[in-house]
Homo-oligomer: A and B are copies of this chain.
């Protein structure tokens, strides 16, 4: 691990995260770079513990300011501050690379705001598009889709625009003519970085949509004809659009690069390319390169063809993907509604989803750590005179449940059935001394903070299950260990017939009975006993499933409060 003194002092100080230097809420810096001492130097560095994580405390000269840095911050994972708008972080593709599997999902699942939404927004970031299915076929619905991840960008075409293909067209744009791959609104600056197209009607007998990955095409051009790439990425081109109320113009290269020379933005639209005025020889070179790129973009292997049906909504990166419409027969008609939006909002929503997911994983880890600590701590104590420890007993119960093919929730219940002994103020020893600690109830109640009834109910009922079995199964009591026989009396003895009937009617009564039999068996000092870690993935899965079922409805909305 690197030490603070290995870094540039001013950079380190500029990143001080103390409450004096950064607003603890927004993480915004509270000082100017010009506020820092010009003679800034690290006066000491001392290893420190930062809430359980290793790190360093630095004292600065000349001002004596103290900063703390975690080791994980000094040496973060490789993509900590990765730029996410250039070719570098994208998955460039040709049609065949997608193997016919579109990045798609249903609107209903997407609206839950969880994994499906995160996956589809990831697809827009990585592949440049996603396809939402079963979006309600409703006027203006495309705006609701845009608002689900960001903000609509209004343009001269309105907040929403209509694309109609008519049987008797009155305008070329509404015919079945082929429209070659292009990006939209290149004459806008800033260009709308996202486009949405929502299909309301498609009764035409043909009329497929096409998408071309412009980043992949530009990368191909760079490979095949580096000088053409150089010309197109270094020549600002005028794009223009005019009508009665509009006179838009933008000057941008067809292939936009970032300062490091990485592909960052494609603009390609022959219809609105204005008049380029360059010295003669540069004009010829530009046109040769332009034609080469245009021909490359028309290669069939680059173009992903698919068909939008009613309810489909395509969301795509207008700085990267070119969209096209293949020619189709003139029978039937089609109606799409479209709108523009911006990538920054979409990427923010994706990052919030990911952060929430990470926060939850973090919480889950903390829960599992807590449970594990019970097994390691008090759990290591002897188990009411049995030949196994409390922890061994519970781990064996879990293993027996798993070996019996029990569902994960019941495995967890078996594993955790005696946590009430470990958590309660009235201990197992008090129980042995004649005071019922109701450990099944206190354990179930405590576990209910994180686990569903499928886990907690068998736990709650596992003592009653012993009283039930002793009532309904002649000889069951003989299977009990001496300690268990002893506690049976404190716990109320075998059930009366009425109690047994009530127990049998409990939704989780049968599960509790299964658990109980493993409970009796899990006291064998020579049986294989897995470590707690063996059960962590199973428990983590239950925590995630609980969260999903407990939080239905739309996911987090980007709010508009400053």
Residues of B within 8 A of A260 (CB): 234, 236
A11-B560 contact in complex given A243-B25, A249-B351, A298-B34, C-beta closer than 8 Å: no
A508 interface residue (CB < 8 Å to B)? no
Residues of B within 8 A of A405 (CB): none
A276 B154 Cβ-Cβ under 8 A: no
A251-B83 contact in complex given A8-B284, A158-B561, A562-B158, C-beta closer than 8 Å: yes
Interface residues of A in 157-182 (CB under 8 A from B): 157-159, 161-162, 172, 180
Cα-based distance from A10 to B283 in the complex (angstroms): 9
Q: Shortest Cβ distance from A312 into chain B, in angstroms?
A: 21
A247 B351 Cβ-Cβ under 8 A: yes
Residues of B within 8 A of A557 (CB): 245
A474 interface residue (CB < 8 Å to B)? no
A558 interface residue (CB < 8 Å to B)? yes
Which of B83, B234, B244, B283 is the one whose CB lies under 8 Å from A8? Answer: B283
Cα-based distance from A233 to B270 in the complex (angstroms): 31
Stretch at the interface among A286-294, A413-421, A462-470: A286-294
A342 interface residue (CB < 8 Å to B)? yes
Cα-based distance from A273 to B290 in the complex (angstroms): 38
Residues of B within 8 A of A26 (CB): 241-243
A558-B348 contact in complex given A83-B236, A189-B343, C-beta closer than 8 Å: no
Q: Shortest Cβ distance from A18 into chain B, in angstroms?
A: 15
- Size category, A interface: 35 or more
Of A14, A84, A260, A298, most buried by chain B (CB within 10 Å of CB) is: A14
Question: Which chain B residue lies CB-closest to A284?
Answer: B8
Residues of B within 8 A of A294 (CB): 32-34
B243 A259 Cβ-Cβ under 8 A: no
> What are the 9 A-B residue pairs with the smallest beta carbon separation, nearest first?
A190-B190, A247-B351, A158-B560, A83-B251, A151-B154, A8-B283, A28-B271, A10-B287, A157-B562
* Sampled A-B contacts (18; CB under 8 Å): A7-B280, A7-B283, A14-B273, A26-B241, A29-B270, A29-B271, A33-B294, A76-B277, A85-B189, A153-B153, A156-B558, A188-B342, A190-B342, A234-B259, A236-B258, A245-B558, A246-B558, A248-B344
